[in-house]
Amino acid sequence: MRFSATLSMAMASFSASALAMPAEPAVRQDAVALPAKLVPESIANATALGVDVWGPIPADATTGDGYYKAEPGTPGWAWIRAQVDLAAYEKELQARGLSVPEGVEKRQATNIQLNFFTGDWCTGSAWHFPNLGYGVKAVPAENVYIYSVGFSGRTLRANEYLTLRRGDFNGDRCAEWHGTINGPTEPNLCWQIEATTCFRMNQSVN
Protein backbone atom coordinates (compact mmCIF):
# COMPACT_ATOMS: atom_id res chain seq x y z
CA MET A 1 0.00 0.00 0.00
CA ARG A 2 1.09 3.53 -0.61
CA PHE A 3 2.39 4.43 2.85
CA SER A 4 4.44 1.31 3.25
CA ALA A 5 8.06 0.47 2.71
CA THR A 6 10.19 -2.57 2.95
CA LEU A 7 13.06 -2.64 5.40
CA SER A 8 15.98 -4.74 4.33
CA MET A 9 18.05 -6.51 6.90
CA ALA A 10 20.94 -4.27 5.98
CA MET A 11 18.80 -1.63 7.67
CA ALA A 12 17.93 1.47 5.85
CA SER A 13 19.01 4.97 6.56
CA PHE A 14 16.60 7.38 4.94
CA SER A 15 17.46 10.75 3.53
CA ALA A 16 16.95 13.82 5.64
CA SER A 17 14.79 15.47 2.99
CA ALA A 18 11.66 14.07 4.57
CA LEU A 19 12.30 16.23 7.62
CA ALA A 20 11.70 19.47 5.76
CA MET A 21 8.56 20.85 7.34
CA PRO A 22 5.90 22.12 4.93
CA ALA A 23 5.02 25.78 5.32
CA GLU A 24 1.83 26.11 7.30
CA PRO A 25 -0.90 27.25 4.92
CA ALA A 26 -3.74 29.39 6.14
CA VAL A 27 -7.18 27.78 6.25
CA ARG A 28 -8.93 28.71 3.03
CA GLN A 29 -12.44 30.10 2.83
CA ASP A 30 -13.17 28.00 -0.22
CA ALA A 31 -11.75 24.80 1.18
CA VAL A 32 -13.26 21.69 -0.32
CA ALA A 33 -13.68 18.29 1.20
CA LEU A 34 -10.84 15.86 0.75
CA PRO A 35 -11.62 13.34 -2.02
CA ALA A 36 -12.33 10.00 -0.37
CA LYS A 37 -9.54 8.27 -2.28
CA LEU A 38 -6.98 10.51 -0.56
CA VAL A 39 -8.10 9.49 2.90
CA PRO A 40 -5.80 6.70 4.07
CA GLU A 41 -7.74 3.46 4.37
CA SER A 42 -6.85 3.12 8.04
CA ILE A 43 -8.34 6.55 8.77
CA ALA A 44 -11.49 5.75 6.79
CA ASN A 45 -11.84 2.45 8.65
CA ALA A 46 -11.41 4.08 12.05
CA THR A 47 -13.86 6.85 11.20
CA ALA A 48 -16.42 4.27 10.05
CA LEU A 49 -16.16 2.71 13.50
CA GLY A 50 -16.86 6.08 15.10
CA VAL A 51 -13.25 6.50 16.24
CA ASP A 52 -11.79 10.01 16.55
CA VAL A 53 -8.24 9.42 15.33
CA TRP A 54 -7.04 12.63 17.05
CA GLY A 55 -8.76 11.77 20.30
CA PRO A 56 -7.54 9.46 23.03
CA ILE A 57 -7.23 5.76 22.34
CA PRO A 58 -10.66 4.07 22.65
CA ALA A 59 -11.36 2.50 26.04
CA ASP A 60 -11.63 -1.05 24.69
CA ALA A 61 -7.85 -1.18 24.25
CA THR A 62 -6.20 -3.05 27.11
CA THR A 63 -3.19 -1.70 28.96
CA GLY A 64 0.13 -3.22 29.88
CA ASP A 65 3.58 -2.06 30.93
CA GLY A 66 3.86 1.25 29.08
CA TYR A 67 1.51 0.28 26.28
CA TYR A 68 -1.99 -0.20 24.95
CA LYS A 69 -2.92 -3.35 23.10
CA ALA A 70 -5.82 -4.08 20.75
CA GLU A 71 -7.09 -6.80 18.47
CA PRO A 72 -8.17 -6.37 14.83
CA GLY A 73 -11.80 -5.37 14.34
CA THR A 74 -11.98 -3.28 17.52
CA PRO A 75 -12.11 0.53 17.82
CA GLY A 76 -8.83 0.43 19.76
CA TRP A 77 -7.10 -1.40 16.93
CA ALA A 78 -8.50 0.95 14.30
CA TRP A 79 -7.17 3.90 16.32
CA ILE A 80 -3.67 2.41 16.64
CA ARG A 81 -3.50 1.52 12.95
CA ALA A 82 -4.70 4.99 12.01
CA GLN A 83 -1.90 6.65 14.02
CA VAL A 84 0.66 5.27 11.58
CA ASP A 85 -1.02 7.11 8.66
CA LEU A 86 -2.10 10.24 10.51
CA ALA A 87 0.73 12.51 9.38
CA ALA A 88 0.00 11.75 5.71
CA TYR A 89 -3.65 12.51 6.23
CA GLU A 90 -2.86 15.81 7.94
CA LYS A 91 -0.56 16.74 5.09
CA GLU A 92 -3.34 16.11 2.56
CA LEU A 93 -5.76 18.20 4.59
CA GLN A 94 -3.31 21.05 4.99
CA ALA A 95 -2.35 21.01 1.32
CA ARG A 96 -6.01 21.75 0.56
CA GLY A 97 -6.32 24.45 3.17
CA LEU A 98 -8.60 22.28 5.27
CA SER A 99 -8.34 22.72 8.98
CA VAL A 100 -6.88 19.98 11.09
CA PRO A 101 -8.03 19.50 14.67
CA GLU A 102 -6.33 21.16 17.61
CA GLY A 103 -5.05 17.78 18.65
CA VAL A 104 -2.44 18.07 15.91
CA GLU A 105 -0.84 21.05 17.65
CA LYS A 106 -0.62 19.16 20.91
CA ARG A 107 0.75 16.13 19.18
CA GLN A 108 3.78 18.03 17.86
CA ALA A 109 5.02 18.30 21.42
CA THR A 110 4.56 14.69 22.33
CA ASN A 111 7.20 12.06 22.48
CA ILE A 112 7.65 9.58 19.71
CA GLN A 113 5.13 6.74 19.70
CA LEU A 114 5.78 3.21 18.61
CA ASN A 115 3.12 0.98 17.04
CA PHE A 116 3.90 -2.61 16.34
CA PHE A 117 2.03 -5.55 14.93
CA THR A 118 2.18 -9.33 14.89
CA GLY A 119 1.34 -9.44 11.16
CA ASP A 120 2.99 -8.11 8.01
CA TRP A 121 2.17 -4.59 6.78
CA CYS A 122 0.73 -3.44 10.11
CA THR A 123 -1.90 -6.14 10.52
CA GLY A 124 -2.64 -8.52 13.38
CA SER A 125 -2.57 -7.78 17.10
CA ALA A 126 -1.36 -4.23 17.76
CA TRP A 127 0.58 -2.51 20.53
CA HIS A 128 0.87 1.24 20.98
CA PHE A 129 3.64 2.68 23.18
CA PRO A 130 2.54 6.30 23.68
CA ASN A 131 5.67 7.68 25.24
CA LEU A 132 8.73 5.81 24.12
CA GLY A 133 11.79 6.88 26.09
CA TYR A 134 15.48 6.31 25.47
CA GLY A 135 16.87 3.04 26.68
CA VAL A 136 13.43 1.68 27.57
CA LYS A 137 12.66 -1.83 26.41
CA ALA A 138 9.34 -2.06 24.60
CA VAL A 139 8.14 -5.62 25.04
CA PRO A 140 4.61 -7.04 24.80
CA ALA A 141 3.53 -9.09 27.82
CA GLU A 142 2.64 -12.05 25.63
CA ASN A 143 5.15 -14.29 23.92
CA VAL A 144 4.73 -13.06 20.35
CA TYR A 145 6.85 -12.16 17.37
CA ILE A 146 6.40 -8.74 15.88
CA TYR A 147 6.68 -8.42 12.09
CA SER A 148 5.85 -4.80 11.32
CA VAL A 149 6.18 -1.45 13.00
CA GLY A 150 5.25 2.20 12.48
CA PHE A 151 5.96 5.44 14.33
CA SER A 152 3.49 8.15 15.19
CA GLY A 153 3.54 11.46 17.05
CA ARG A 154 6.80 12.26 15.33
CA THR A 155 9.49 10.43 13.39
CA LEU A 156 12.91 9.25 14.53
CA ARG A 157 15.37 12.15 14.54
CA ALA A 158 18.76 11.96 12.85
CA ASN A 159 20.47 11.18 16.15
CA GLU A 160 18.00 8.48 17.18
CA TYR A 161 17.75 4.83 16.33
CA LEU A 162 15.51 1.92 17.23
CA THR A 163 17.16 -1.40 17.86
CA LEU A 164 15.30 -4.60 17.01
CA ARG A 165 15.96 -7.39 19.47
CA ARG A 166 15.11 -10.99 19.87
CA GLY A 167 15.22 -13.46 22.71
CA ASP A 168 13.63 -16.63 24.01
CA PHE A 169 9.98 -16.64 24.96
CA ASN A 170 9.70 -16.41 28.76
CA GLY A 171 13.41 -15.57 28.87
CA ASP A 172 15.28 -12.35 28.09
CA ARG A 173 13.36 -11.29 25.05
CA CYS A 174 15.72 -8.37 24.47
CA ALA A 175 18.82 -10.58 24.54
CA GLU A 176 20.10 -10.25 20.97
CA TRP A 177 20.30 -7.32 18.61
CA HIS A 178 19.34 -8.26 15.07
CA GLY A 179 18.65 -4.97 13.34
CA THR A 180 18.32 -1.22 13.61
CA ILE A 181 16.00 1.41 12.18
CA ASN A 182 18.12 4.53 11.93
CA GLY A 183 16.80 8.07 12.05
CA PRO A 184 15.87 10.28 10.42
CA THR A 185 12.78 8.36 9.27
CA GLU A 186 9.97 9.45 7.01
CA PRO A 187 6.45 9.56 8.42
CA ASN A 188 3.72 7.06 7.53
CA LEU A 189 5.87 4.06 6.87
CA CYS A 190 4.91 0.59 7.92
CA TRP A 191 8.28 -1.10 8.32
CA GLN A 192 8.55 -4.78 7.56
CA ILE A 193 10.94 -6.38 10.04
CA GLU A 194 12.23 -9.82 10.86
CA ALA A 195 10.73 -11.60 13.86
CA THR A 196 11.31 -9.28 16.81
CA THR A 197 10.46 -9.67 20.49
CA CYS A 198 11.76 -6.36 21.88
CA PHE A 199 12.46 -2.79 20.75
CA ARG A 200 14.70 -0.17 22.29
CA MET A 201 15.24 3.40 21.17
CA ASN A 202 18.58 5.06 21.87
CA GLN A 203 20.19 8.37 21.09
CA SER A 204 23.58 8.58 19.40
CA VAL A 205 26.23 10.13 21.58
CA ASN A 206 27.43 12.53 18.87
Cβ of 109: how many Cβ atoms within 10 Å?
8
Task: Please tell me whether residue 202 binds ligand NAG under the rule CB under 6 A.
Answer: yes
The answer to whether 134 touches 170, Cβ cutoff 8 Å, is no
Which parts of 30-175 are beta strand (E)?
62-64, 67-70, 113-117, 126-129, 137-138, 146-152, 160-166
Q: Is 107 left (phi over 0), alpha (psi -120 to 50) or beta?
A: alpha
Note whether 52 binds ligand NAG by CB under 6 A. no
Nearest CA to 64 out of 140, 177, 160 is that of: 140
Stretch touching ligand NAG by CB under 6 A, among 28-36, 38-46, 140-148, 165-173: 38-46
For residues 134-153, which are near ligand NAG according to CB under 6 A? 135
**Binding status of residue 45 toward ligand NAG by CB under 6 A:** yes
Residue 192 binds ligand NAG (CB under 6 A) = no
State in angstroms the smallest separation of the CB of 47 from ligand NAG. Answer: 11
Q: Which is nearer to ligand NAG, 67 or 161 (CB)?
A: 161
Q: Judge whether 190 and 114 are in contact, CB under 8 Å.
A: no
Q: Which residues pair with 113 in a beta bridge?
A: 152
Q: State in angstroms the smallest separation of the CB of 171 from ligand NAG.
A: 19
Cross-strand bridge partners of residue 5: 191
Interface residue with ligand NAG among 81, 107, 128, 166 (CB under 6 A) is: 81
Q: Work out whether 165 is an interface residue with ligand NAG (CB under 6 A).
A: no
Pairing of strands 113-117, 137-138: unpaired
Name the segment binding ligand NAG (CB under 6 A); options: 8-16, 39-47, 60-68, 108-116.
39-47
Q: How many residues bind ligand NAG (CB under 6 A)?
A: 6
Interface positions with ligand NAG (CB under 6 A): 41-42, 45, 81, 135, 202
